[in-house]
Structures are given as C-alpha cells and as structure tokens.
Amino acid sequence: MTENGSYNKRPLWQWVLIYGIIGLVIYGLIYYFVLANKERSSKDSSVVIPLATNFSAGPSATESAQIRIILAVDGFSPKDLTIKIGTKVLWTNKSGSAATVDSSPHPSHTDYPQLNLGNFADGETLSLIFDKAGTYKYHNHLNSSQFGTIVVQ
C-alpha cells in the first residue's frame, strides 16, 4: 500500500510477462524431469533379445526373455512350460483357422484374467509378460481340447 491507501497497480503487460515466464519455467521443469527421461529410457531399453528356439515339451522348458508357443492343428507346442518371472510368452496361430488363448477353466476363463488374450487368426501372434509367480492353465476356447500350462517361478 502506498501512503495514500491505494495499491501499487502494475500494468497488464507486466502481469502477462510474469505469468508467461512462470509458465515457461514450469514447462521446462516438466519437460526435463518427465518427457526427456522417457525419451532417454526408451532409447536405453531398445535392446533386441532373440527369440528362444530351443525348448522342450516338458515342464522344464528353456527359460528366456521371450518364449514362443505354436498352436497347430493338434494343439499348443510346447504344451507345458516353466519360465521365470518377467518372461514374455508369444502364441503364434498356425492351426489353419481362428483360435483363442484364454485362461482356464473352460468356459468361464476366471483363473487368470490377464491370460484371456482373445481371438487370433491363422498366422497372427498374441503375447503376455508374466509378472507374477504361479501355475497358469490356458486353452483355445474354440477347441477346448487344445490346452497348456505355464509355471512361472
């Protein structure tokens, strides 16, 4: 307040300038701490990991960053699989017709909802990263005689 009881009023252009500078500082901080870090981490995580090609059909299948399961006319191969937490499993449909990957039990699919990957046409691939230990059973909902089990350690 001045001596005569009135407030010192700033011209409008000064307020616009002050708020503009504050906005630029806030945007710069957000960019530096959020957006720039995302760009750096995505560049750092662009390592290509080859798909596993050697796996057995038994419960002690080769563990890798990625495992491929093939759905053929006679079912999933490998049918039983043991993997580590964080492994990405890819299902490729080579059955000649549409199929699904859904958690057990058939037909409710309630054991592990993340595994309800849904429909995929012949030649397509579905994937899921298993981030929790456990035993997960799944099947092809369109042909429930085709099923498999994944043990995550």
pLDDT > 50? residue 60? no
Structural domain of 139: 66-152
Q: Are residues 146 and 108 in the same domain?
A: yes
73 and 15 share a domain?
A: no
Under DSSP, is residue 97 helix (H, G, I), strand (E, B) or coil? coil
Mean pLDDT of 110-128: 88
User: How far, in whole angstroms, is CA 11 from its chain's centroid?
Assistant: 53
| Residues 119 and 71 occupy one common structural domain | yes
Task: Note whether 148 and 78 are same-domain residues.
Answer: yes
- Find the Cα–Cα–Cα–Cα dihedral 48, 75, 99, 106, rounded to 10°: -110
Count of domains in the chain?
2
Residues 41 and 10 in one domain: yes
By DSSP bridging, strand 80-83 and strand 143-152 are: parallel
Are 70 and 145 within one domain? yes
| 70 touches 92 (CB < 8 A) | yes
Joined together, the tokens standing for residue 36 give 């720039």
Collect all residues with Cβ–Cβ distance below 8 Å to 72 and sequence separation of at least 6.
Answer: 94, 95
In a domain, 81, yes or no: yes
**One domain, residues 5 and 70:** no
Average pLDDT over residues 97-117: 85
- pLDDT tens string 70-92: 999 999 999 999 999 999 999 99
